[in-house]
Structure 1
Amino acid sequence: MACARVPLDEQQVTEPGLLGREQTLPALHPARKEERCFVPYKSPPEDGSPAEVEEFLEHAKFITEDLEWLLALPHDKFWCQVVFDESLQRCLDSYLHQAPRGLDLASLPSSPAVAEMQRSIHRAVFLTFLRMATHKESKENFITPAVFGEIIYENFLFDIPKILDLCVLFGKGNSQLLHKMIENIFTQQPSYYSDLDETVPTVLQVFDTILNKCGIQCEGATAMEPMKLNAHKQPTAMTMSQQELADLILYLCDSTTTIHAFLDIFPAACTSFHSHGFLSRLTSFYETAVPDLEKAVRKRNFDDKSLQEDLWKRVSHSCRKMVEMTHLLLHHTCLQPILEGGENMLSYAEELLQHFTSFLPEKRFLSDYDEQFPIADDISLLQQALPVIDETRTSYLLQGVESAWDSVGRRKPQSQNQHKVTAAHQGAAGGAAAAAAAASSFRPQEGGAQERGRESPLGAEAMLDVPSKGNNGAVCPVSAAELESLLSCIRDLLPDLGEGFLLACLQEYNYNTELVINNILEDRLAPNLDKLDRAMPRPVKEELPDVLGVRSNVFDDDEFDIFRRDQVDMSRIWKGRRKGESARDMLNDKQHIAEQKSRYQAYETVVDEVVIEPGESAATYGLDDYDDEYDDTYDMNQVGANDLDGDSLLNRRPFTVPQVLRKGNKQEEEEGEDEEEEEAIPNNVNRDQFVQDPALLRERAEARRATMQQRRGFRPERPSNVVGQPKGQGQTTETFLDRRKKEANKSRTSNHNRRNMADRKRNKGMIPS
């Protein structure tokens, strides 16, 4: 019997031997293992024939019963079976390798019996791994932590590939339990961290392999290798076979989904990935490989349209996972330490800004990243946490983001997606109670995965989370050239659809081609689009009248009207002086006078009376014709005759001697800005006086000046009184103010500022000291 409060690795048990004698053995011993054969797992059949379905159900029933028997064993028996039974490990490994992932579930049959059996196996496998990762089930049943770490590490019960598969298979709906399990494994056995560091270069090799298969020159660690001689014969994504393209996209989708699930569930691994330059390699791969893969899926002719649809979903899913991986790495390695307010916040902020700056050349990746995780929000958090951040640098980054959106021909959505809040993880797992809680609260990932309200019968993961509708305004946000490019992109993939229908779809989904293609292929269009004819042609655009044809201008139809004349006399057009023409010739040219002479010759002769010769009548000169429109109202009246400015006057003005020739009076012109006043010379002044008295002239001028100032409301300045009262009798406020004003302004006149000027010259070295 097991001893109480003693770890399993130190316990001794007594059991009957072969000859009936009792023998004492360690609690963990191969002899205590039960003889039971665990069969490997096989995935559900794809075609769904009755014979294959029945075979799968029977095979899966054996696995479920064996795992339930294993979970019902006591603590010591369970660990003996786990450590020493190789068939159990082969069974568990086969499920991790063969179990359908999220995007594989759509191709599986929707039989309720198959789905229920798959959920049962999924649940039993998860509980088995969860119990294997727990070193303490209760106060009596536990293993020494150090020994537990050695057992799972030396017997390969867990390794990095297994942990990655566990995350991608059981992450959805069980992330907290899975986080506790993986955290306990890494805590009890730190050697897994070194294994993880060795695994990251292998993960990076995935990107290089895909680039090589696509015939693209690698960037990063392997970019310095010499090019192979047959590199020019390497097939590309457009030239490789459809099967090779499908395998390549499946490989990319599975890799990105697995890595993202691992980083999401176990954020402590972000440091290892970050230290190997994973971010730069990921963004470079995204910018280089994704456009080629998307182009190959869209442009190539597929015999099976469902295959083309599935590949497009996987490419889109891979892009989203790579963007989310980047966000996870930035959040846990840079943003999280800043938000926690620890030490070296400035260094973390600088590192984050450097990463954003390195994203600027990757236009496609930067726009996709900013669409899911707006960079402006992260910069706003930095500015709130660290007000000393350089605003010029942040403005440069934001302008680079806008430039990336413009360069890829997309319009930034008005409403950005809300950031996902990561739930707080709890502490380490705790024994059999944790396993029991897992059994009760377990939500199998395959059975509970949903995507936009559509249940997946077996799925372990949501396939593609896309918004159902865009937010498009009344005005088209893209130019005519960009709109034609979007239509061409969709018609290359879906040639049977009319342009009118595609225009309505683009307008509905904010001109997002990927969203339109996905919703059309999945038959998830909005209700108003389902009612439209899919072959609807493009509406005819009304042509506006030509602006030049309807314009009106004073220069229309002249000799220089280039809009209506094909030929213009260019000899009549020059700039500056004509070539070969001197200034003297130009001044001597009187041609314009000769041209105007004939015009004014008609006004030389004025005939007052017309003499009618004998034999001629007045009708000859048009004098007898009566004009009905002639107004003879004033013919008999002398209208204007009494006006003084008329040419013919009845009362002429009497002759007046000019003032210059007069000797009696003189008129003096008084100076003034608004008017001139005339006044006569006093009678007592000598008429022959040539120069008047200057004192009298000054008096008159002063009087005129006073009159003008009074008329304009001008107040004369108060006279300055700096003398004041005799000393000792006190001074008035006016005297005090006048003295201070004089003291402050005395350097403006005369040479009172000579000391200041001398000091200034001496300071400049002009006067030797």
Structure 2
Amino acid sequence: MAVPLDRRHELRKNPITGLMEDMPDLHPSLIETIHFVLYTPLPSDPSDQAALGEWIELLEIIDDDLRWLLTRDHSKFWCQLIFDDSLKTFLSSYLRHSPRSLSAVPVAARDIHRSVHRRVFFTFVRLSTSKESPDNFLSDDAFAEIVYNHFLLDVPKMMDLCVLYGDAVNSPLLTKMLTNVFSKQKLYFDDLNSACDGIVDAFAKLKDRVEAKADETWSVSEVDDVLHYANDIGQTLSSFVRLCSVAAPALAKHLIAKEVVSLFENLVPLLRPLVWRSENLREAFLRSKASLLSLVHSLVEEAYLKPIDAERTPRRREELADKLLELIAFMLASSEFLKNYNAVFSIEEDWRRVEVALPSLDSNQALYIRDTMKALDFGRRHDSEENELTKEDHMIAKVKEVFPHLEEAFIRTCLEGCAWDAEKTIGSLLEDQGAQASETQEKKTEIRPDKVEKTEGVLSKRRNVFDDDEMDVFRSQELDYSKIRYKERNRDISSKSVLDDKSFVSSMRDRFLNTQFDDYDDEYDDTHDSTVGAPDFVSVEDFRIKRLNEKLPLFKLQTSDDEEDEEEDGNDESDKTKATTENPRPQMEHRRQGKGGAFKKGYSDNTGDEKKGPMKRQDQLKARAAKERYKGSYGNHNRKMGAQKKQGRAMGSFR
């Protein structure tokens, strides 16, 4: 009779003591000295060839190590698995960081990554199997203790396995593996209940975050984070419930379905107008909706409908039916969720299965559901085309989750070839023939015209008072352009003709020629004057700007001095008054010289007593010489040059 591996002993040499001892077959000394490297995520920049090359080398090392591990015999495989911590760390890192779809891996690394992906799955299948052959097996108690106590499997790892390997090819084997683990180790149900509490908290936090941001502006990154988080948790739980049906009652007990319906009712209407910013957000939005709807459907199917059909105890069947009726009533009260769910999975069909299983079901809640179903059927007859379109979009989004690089037109063609069966389409695309077809035909298939008509958006549903008008460009294909009036334009006028038109120059010339200038005297100080008479005559010579070093002619200097002497020699008081009234400049000049001469005692010609004759002439010359000598030692000197500079810059001031 064969002995289980956990009870086998053999006489071996102890590597520590060097003595022959009776040692068990599961002993740390029997492992090989090998270090399993950690799996790292994809390079952030796929175009970086150096980083991609290093990542491919890492995958090759991992592939060789896993090949060596799987070739070990039964006892050495379990020894390595139990006592090698690097192996357990590697398996956890792969489940955490591996891409959910092989299409996300660059083409250069796709083959080696597919090999690693397959060997990791075989490793988990082998460690989940207690009996490999009639001679190589573990007892049920030892298997349950080893898998649980050494953390070879836990609930989060099971969920990751369902997401990574839950396709049509591996799902039967994965379901058998998880069912075997839960049946051998009952403690996993306690861990599952604890995990459900964490899942409820995660949904509550996500719902609170959405409600808190309801009245605020969402950024693109925030919308993307929420959509990816909702899609990840919905896809993970949906795969886990579908492949591990023994875990469905625990999730139903914690009312996970109601939490999902409530989150969907708040999340989808809020994010729908925000996802049209980019194509990536729109695809993420569709994937999130599909994953949440699929999660609720999986819970209804695995936690209620199948147990009702399989249950033989009437009392237990009625309990399950009552819980399902409560859930359906909650779904009927959520209009947004019901519209999307009923378009894909048909809630009427779920209710019909309950009535077939329990024909005697007659309660107030059941009557309410029947009446609501009748009204729902009436509404569906009017929206059958829209629901059909929604179902097609859901199928396309479901396939696009696995193959995000494929275009919708090609996926639609594949779904039509598989009778709109998403699982069958994904299975065919995962095969080599489907992969080759996708590489050659993707991004080349044109969308058919009849499908384009179905996918019309807001314009096809709008209602306006101008609908079907003769100028309605959205509904009418032919317009009468003769009724459209264009504004008349003078086509002879061009930009060149406008620039060449210089007619305005003549008007501007007259304006400047008629402009007059003020007679500006830099040596005239009118600060304390209230009335200044205008000069009798202004000559053109007064406006000429003289150079700074220009000297006046000698005859002008003599004329100026003679006129000044004659003016000072006048003895008639009446003549002085008349001259002052007619021309006040000499008197003001005299006053100015008197003020300036006060700064140098003895050099002013305004001495108080009137001198006449040659003596006065000498005093004037001395005063002028002193002023010329000391004019740079007190204020307001060099005023003439400054005035000329201002006149030269500003062309004088306009009157």
TM-score, reference length from structure 1:
0.50
Q: What residue number does 1:687 align with?
A: none
Residues 269 and 60 of structure 1: CA distance in aligned 2, closer, same or farther (over 3 Å)? same
Q: What residue number does 2:629 align with?
A: none
Contact 2:154 2:188 in 1 (8 A): yes
Q: What residue number does 1:137 align with?
A: 132
Query: Which of 371, 376, 391 in structure 2 is aligned with 1:401?
Result: 376
Q: What residue number does 2:192 align with?
A: 196
Using the TM superposition, give the Cα deviation of residue 36 of structure 1 relative to its aligned residue in structure 2, in angstroms.
0.4
What do residues 685-716 of structure 1 show as CA deviations (whole Å, max 9, x unaligned)?
A: xxxxxxxxxxxxxxxxxxxxxxxxxxxxxxxx
- C-alpha distance in structure 1 between counterparts of 2:413 and 2:27, whole Å: 50
What do residues 71-100 of structure 1 show as CA deviations (whole Å, max 9, x unaligned)?
A: 111111111110111110111111001100
Contact 2:103 2:402 in 1 (8 A): no
* Structure 2 residue matching 1:289: 3-state secondary structure: helix
The correspondence of residues 122-201 of structure 1 with structure 2, limited to 5 A, is: 122-172=117-167, 173-201=169-197
- C-alpha distance in structure 1 between counterparts of 2:313 and 2:145, whole Å: 35
Q: What residue number does 2:21 align with?
A: 23
Using the TM superposition, give the Cα deviation of residue 48 of structure 1 relative to its aligned residue in structure 2, in angstroms.
3.2
Matched, 1:253 2:231: yes
* Structure 1 residue matching 2:39: 3-state secondary structure: coil
Number of residue pairs matched by the alignment: 424
Contact 1:360 1:401 in 2 (8 A): no
Matched, 1:321 2:291: yes
Residues 145 and 326 of structure 1: CA distance in aligned 2, closer, same or farther (over 3 Å)? same
Q: What residue number does 1:358 align with?
A: 330
Q: What residue number does 2:2 align with?
A: 5
Matched letter for residue 149 of structure 1: A
Contact 2:343 2:388 in 1 (8 A): no
- C-alpha distance in structure 2 between counterparts of 1:538 and 1:139, whole Å: 75
Relative contact order (C-alpha < 8 Å, sep 6+): which is higher? 1
Matched letter for residue 276 of structure 1: H
* Structure 1 residue matching 2:312: 3-state secondary structure: coil
Residues 107 and 176 of structure 1: CA distance in aligned 2, closer, same or farther (over 3 Å)? closer
- C-alpha distance in structure 2 between counterparts of 1:506 and 1:237, whole Å: 36
Query: Which of 245, 249, 263 in structure 2 is aligned with 1:285?
Result: 263
Query: Which of 447, 450, 453 in structure 2 is aligned with 1:508?
Result: 453
Using the TM superposition, give the Cα deviation of residue 190 of structure 1 relative to its aligned residue in structure 2, in angstroms.
0.4
- C-alpha distance in structure 2 between counterparts of 1:356 and 1:542, whole Å: 50
Matched letter for residue 538 of structure 1: F
Residues 352 and 468 of structure 1: CA distance in aligned 2, closer, same or farther (over 3 Å)? same
Contact 1:405 1:411 in 2 (8 A): no
- C-alpha distance in structure 1 between counterparts of 2:156 and 2:402, whole Å: 31
Residues 465 and 63 of structure 1: CA distance in aligned 2, closer, same or farther (over 3 Å)? farther
Q: What residue number does 2:217 align with?
A: 239
Matched letter for residue 9 of structure 1: D
Using the TM superposition, give the Cα deviation of residue 175 of structure 1 relative to its aligned residue in structure 2, in angstroms.
0.7
- C-alpha distance in structure 2 between counterparts of 1:9 and 1:451, whole Å: 45
Q: What residue number does 1:478 align with?
A: none
- C-alpha distance in structure 1 between counterparts of 2:402 and 2:229, whole Å: 26
Matched, 1:89 2:88: yes
Residues 247 and 392 of structure 1: CA distance in aligned 2, closer, same or farther (over 3 Å)? closer
Q: What residue number does 1:61 align with?
A: 60
Residues 341 and 198 of structure 1: CA distance in aligned 2, closer, same or farther (over 3 Å)? closer
- C-alpha distance in structure 2 between counterparts of 1:195 and 1:400, whole Å: 43
What do residues 413-460 of structure 1 show as CA deviations (whole Å, max 9, x unaligned)?
A: 479979x9xxxxxxxxxxxxxxxxxxxxxxxxxxxx9948996789xx
Contact 2:297 2:345 in 1 (8 A): yes
Residues 464 and 68 of structure 1: CA distance in aligned 2, closer, same or farther (over 3 Å)? farther
Residues 82 and 210 of structure 1: CA distance in aligned 2, closer, same or farther (over 3 Å)? same
- C-alpha distance in structure 2 between counterparts of 1:466 and 1:326, whole Å: 26
- C-alpha distance in structure 1 between counterparts of 2:416 and 2:140, whole Å: 50
What do residues 357-377 of structure 1 show as CA deviations (whole Å, max 9, x unaligned)?
A: 221220011111111121222
Q: What residue number does 1:731 align with?
A: none
- C-alpha distance in structure 2 between counterparts of 1:293 and 1:405, whole Å: 25
* Structure 1 residue matching 2:333: 3-state secondary structure: coil
- C-alpha distance in structure 2 between counterparts of 1:464 and 1:181, whole Å: 34
Using the TM superposition, give the Cα deviation of residue 313 of structure 1 relative to its aligned residue in structure 2, in angstroms.
1.7
Using the TM superposition, give the Cα deviation of residue 394 of structure 1 relative to its aligned residue in structure 2, in angstroms.
4.6
Matched letter for residue 509 of structure 1: K
Query: Which of 43, 52, 57 in structure 1 is aligned with 2:41?
Result: 43
* Structure 1 residue matching 2:10: 3-state secondary structure: strand
The correspondence of residues 639-650 of structure 1 with structure 2, limited to 5 A, is: none
* Structure 2 residue matching 1:23: 3-state secondary structure: strand
Matched letter for residue 231 of structure 2: C
- C-alpha distance in structure 2 between counterparts of 1:246 and 1:28, whole Å: 49
Q: What residue number does 2:476 align with?
A: 540
Using the TM superposition, give the Cα deviation of residue 335 of structure 1 relative to its aligned residue in structure 2, in angstroms.
1.8
Using the TM superposition, give the Cα deviation of residue 392 of structure 1 relative to its aligned residue in structure 2, in angstroms.
4.6
- C-alpha distance in structure 1 between counterparts of 2:152 and 2:213, whole Å: 41
Residues 155 and 452 of structure 1: CA distance in aligned 2, closer, same or farther (over 3 Å)? closer
- C-alpha distance in structure 2 between counterparts of 1:16 and 1:296, whole Å: 70
Matched letter for residue 127 of structure 1: F
The correspondence of residues 441-520 of structure 1 with structure 2, limited to 5 A, is: 451=399, 508-509=453-454
* Structure 1 residue matching 2:106: 3-state secondary structure: coil
Q: What residue number does 1:74 align with?
A: 73
Contact 1:287 1:362 in 2 (8 A): yes
Using the TM superposition, give the Cα deviation of residue 138 of structure 1 relative to its aligned residue in structure 2, in angstroms.
1.0
Matched letter for residue 205 of structure 2: T
Using the TM superposition, give the Cα deviation of residue 181 of structure 1 relative to its aligned residue in structure 2, in angstroms.
0.8
Structure 2: which 5+ residue stretches go unaligned? 418-446, 462-471, 480-655
TM-score, reference length from structure 2:
0.58
* Structure 2 residue matching 1:25: 3-state secondary structure: strand
The correspondence of residues 198-213 of structure 1 with structure 2, limited to 5 A, is: 198-213=194-209
| Aligned-pair identity (%) | 30
Moved more, 124-133 or 347-356: 347-356
Contact 2:329 2:369 in 1 (8 A): no
Matched letter for residue 270 of structure 1: A
* Structure 2 residue matching 1:387: 3-state secondary structure: coil
Contact 1:237 1:296 in 2 (8 A): no
Contact 1:149 1:189 in 2 (8 A): yes
Residues 140 and 291 of structure 1: CA distance in aligned 2, closer, same or farther (over 3 Å)? same
**Alpha-carbon RMSD:** 3.8
* Structure 2 residue matching 1:97: 3-state secondary structure: helix
Residues 107 and 463 of structure 1: CA distance in aligned 2, closer, same or farther (over 3 Å)? farther
* Structure 1 residue matching 2:78: 3-state secondary structure: helix
Residues 466 and 315 of structure 1: CA distance in aligned 2, closer, same or farther (over 3 Å)? farther
Matched letter for residue 454 of structure 2: Y
What do residues 361-408 of structure 1 show as CA deviations (whole Å, max 9, x unaligned)?
A: 20011111111121222333333343334585453121453588799x
What do residues 293-349 of structure 1 show as CA deviations (whole Å, max 9, x unaligned)?
A: 232222xx5xxxxxx322322221121122122122222232223333622244433
Structure 1: which 5+ residue stretches go unaligned? 217-233, 302-307, 421-448, 470-501, 517-535, 544-769
Matched letter for residue 86 of structure 1: D
Using the TM superposition, give the Cα deviation of residue 109 of structure 1 relative to its aligned residue in structure 2, in angstroms.
2.4
- C-alpha distance in structure 1 between counterparts of 2:206 and 2:222, whole Å: 11
Residues 505 and 206 of structure 1: CA distance in aligned 2, closer, same or farther (over 3 Å)? farther
Residues 541 and 66 of structure 1: CA distance in aligned 2, closer, same or farther (over 3 Å)? closer
